[in-house]
């Protein structure tokens, strides 16, 4: 089978991509910033599904440093570039997120081109598609791009500019290297290990009673296992070269809808989840003193909907029901001692 590099193998999406590749019979090499995490990653993966340990190699490479990338991509047929630089604090300015994200993508693409990799699948985000636009009644598609000239958060700006740099590099300097991009919406689903992925913190806080009432907005969600499946399809399908693919299960959900599903599926174990939605005016007022609500100011009262029709049509991809994903997310959090 083919050899595939997955960047960021200990991450939520990255670990599921590694497991899906191993399950499909591929030989996998994955990068981590801290090699001390390699034994834990192997343990999580073996606990989820048996595989030949010799088909998995864990190597050290950091997107913010050049060392290790030539060795990481050597002899690989494909690369799933899932990792993205992260900050443990609020950035002082947008460049603190934009520059590392853009340079990290270009570092991986250059090494992939020089090593003769056939195709790179870039994990982008809905944040590179649907942010900074005026309200609209139609779902966002892969033809849309986030408006980086608007007042948008640093993370969405970084994902957008990094992806644009990737497409420009492949067009101008790729030398035959193919690129596809996957754009998940909010990613939920079961944990492979005891980490605390940011995308699951909403469900965790609902279970813990940390969300007394829901801010009034809606967005799309998708299962991490389906995101991994879309990466594998985008990796090998001839129709995926040069294309972007949104990943969403159905349509957008209001936060109060997620809370309702938790109550319906988990009963008393979700007793602390909220039951009501805040009015827009009150949420805006609370945002003057609550930084988390302030970040949501452009989304209040809106439903940021999207469609995965392109992935379904070209790649045969299908997402599982999001109600099942929400319930399994909560069950997994509780099983790992989170959300109580």
Q: Could you list the active site residues?
A: 159
Tokens of 269: 């174990």
Under 8 Å CB-to-CB from 87, ≥6 apart: which residues?
A: 96, 97
CA distances from 321 to 15, 189, 250, 251, 328 (A): 22, 11, 8, 11, 11
Residues 230 and 137: their CA atoms lie apart, in Å, by 26
Other Cβ atoms closer than 10 A to 247: 29
Task: Residue 209: name the closest of 249, 146, 259 by CA.
Answer: 259
Query: Which of 175-205 are b and which e, b meaning 16 or more Cβ less than 10 Å from the residue's Cβ?
Result: eebbbbbbbbbbbbbbbbbebebebbebbbe
Residues 275 and 116: their CA atoms lie apart, in Å, by 54
Place of tokens 């030989």: 27
Q: Backbone dihedral region of 84: left (phi > 0), alpha (psi from -120 to 50 degrees) or beta? A: beta
Burial zone of 39 (CB within 10 Å; 0-12 exposed, 13-18 middle, 19+ buried):
exposed
């Amino acid at each position: 089978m083919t050899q595939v590099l997955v960047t960021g193998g200990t991450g939520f999406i990255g670990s599921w991509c590694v497991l899906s590749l191993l399950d499909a019979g591929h030989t996998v090499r994955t990068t981590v910033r801290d090699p001390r995490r390699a034994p834990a990653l192997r343990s999580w993966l073996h606990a989820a599904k048996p595989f030949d340990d010799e088909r998995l190699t864990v190597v050290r490479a950091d997107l913010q440093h050049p060392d290790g990338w030539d060795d990481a991509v050597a002899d690989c047929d494909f690369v799933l570039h899932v990792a993205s630089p992260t900050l443990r604090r609020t950035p002082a300015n947008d460049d603190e997120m934009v520059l590392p994200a853009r340079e990290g993508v270009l570092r991986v693409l250059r090494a992939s081109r020089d090593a003769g990799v056939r195709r790179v699948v870039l994990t982008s985000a809905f944040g590179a598609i649907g942010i900074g636009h005026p309200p609209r009644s139609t779902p966002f598609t892969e033809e849309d791009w986030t408006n980086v000239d608007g007042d948008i958060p640093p993370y969405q700006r970084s994902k957008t500019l990094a992806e644009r740099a990737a497409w420009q590099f492949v067009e101008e300097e790729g030398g035959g290297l193919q690129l596809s991009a996957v754009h998940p919406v909010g990613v939920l689903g079961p944990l492979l290990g005891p980490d605390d992925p940011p995308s699951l913190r909403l469900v965790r806080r609902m279970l813990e009673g940390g969300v007394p009432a829901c801010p009034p907005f809606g967005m799309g969600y998708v299962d991490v296992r389906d995101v991994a499946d879309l990466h594998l399809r985008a990796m090998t399908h001839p129709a995926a070269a040069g294309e972007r693919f949104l990943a969403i299960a159905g349509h957008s959900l209001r936060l109060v809808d997620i809370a309702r599903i938790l109550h319906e599926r988990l009963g008393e174990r979700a007793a602390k989840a909220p039951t009501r939605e805040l009015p827009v005016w009150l949420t805006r007022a609370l945002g003057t003193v609550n930084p988390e609500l302030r970040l949501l100011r452009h989304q209040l009262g809106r439903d940021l909907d999207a469609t995965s029709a392109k992935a379904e049509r070209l790649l045969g991809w299908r997402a599982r029901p999001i109600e099942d994903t929400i319930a399994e997310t909560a069950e997994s959090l509780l099983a790992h001692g989170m959300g109580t």
